[in-house]
Structure 1
Amino acid sequence: MPSVARILGVIAVVVGLAGGGFAAGRLTAPESDSTASNCAEPRKLYRHYVDAITPDQEVAAKRTNGRILANTILQNPGCFSTADRASAQTILDTIDQGVQEDTLNDLKECVADATDEYSWSDC
């Protein structure tokens, strides 16, 4: 009989450890439903701005939509892939570079149009 008591005791310990491990795992596991619901709004906004960018838009509107699109991805890293985040950062860098080039081109044009010293004040 003592061997049966020992076996039952070992079984109780094993079940207790397994149950405790399972409970600890459930308590520390990320909740996929919560993540999915948290990503619904950013993905909806992403889809809206992807669809809003058209070839016939003005450059300023494209830049604004591109910034909103990129910031939506970058501010919600758990909702988008690494490739999406890298593309978003590239979009922001390209937009910033375009703005700087436009500013420089406007300044060059202003300087070229300046014919006297008073025209320089408009640049």
Structure 2
Amino acid sequence: MLPAARTRIRIFAIAAAGVLLTGGGFAAGRLTAPGGDSSTAECAEPRKVSQEYLDAFTAEQEVAEKRTNGRMVANTILQNPDCFGASERASAQTILDNIDQGVQEDAFNDLQKCVDDATDDFPLNSC
């Protein structure tokens, strides 16, 4: 084979490989990307549920009820990552972290109060 023919074959092979890699990358991206209409339909319910719990928050609610609603919103978002953006997922995780921290602080404060209130009639081991 002539050197010029070899060079043309190499150039053709490199170009073909580039086209295949680019097309394959594009196809893989389309397959793994969130869907269009079907994704919207699949996300309607999680978005509706999260919005309902967000709308249910009031200043008059008990702390336990606020925590329950907060967990419902956060879990709905975190369990449906394709339906919510990165900032919404980060906020949901922060909500869960704050709720857990509040529960731990309440438990510690309750224990501290119990220890402080312990007397001969109400022994410490009752805490």
SS of match in other structure, 1:48: helix
TM-score, length of structure 1 as denominator length:
0.74
Runs of at least 5 residues in structure 2 that lack an aligned partner in the other structure: 1-22
For these two proteins, the number of residue pairs brought into alignment is: 99
- Give, as a single letter, the amino acid of the residue that structure 1 aligns with 2:70: G
Alpha carbons of structure 1 residues 83 and 116: separation in structure 2 relative to 1, 3 Å: same
Q: CA deviation at 1:72?
A: 0.4
Q: CA deviation at 1:119?
A: 1.4
Alignment of 1:57-76 (within 5 A): 57-76=61-80
- Give, as a single letter, the amino acid of the residue that structure 2 aligns with 1:120: L
Alignment of 1:94-109 (within 5 A): 94-109=98-113
TM-score, length of structure 2 as denominator length:
0.72
Distance (whole Å) between structure 2 residues aligned to residue 112 and residue 49 of structure 1: 38
Q: Does 1:91 align with 2:82?
A: no
State percent identity of aligned pairs.
61
RMSD: 1.8
Alignment of 1:1-123 (within 5 A): 29=31, 31-116=35-120, 119-123=123-127
Task: Using the TM superposition, name which of 75-84 and 113-122 deviates more.
Answer: 113-122
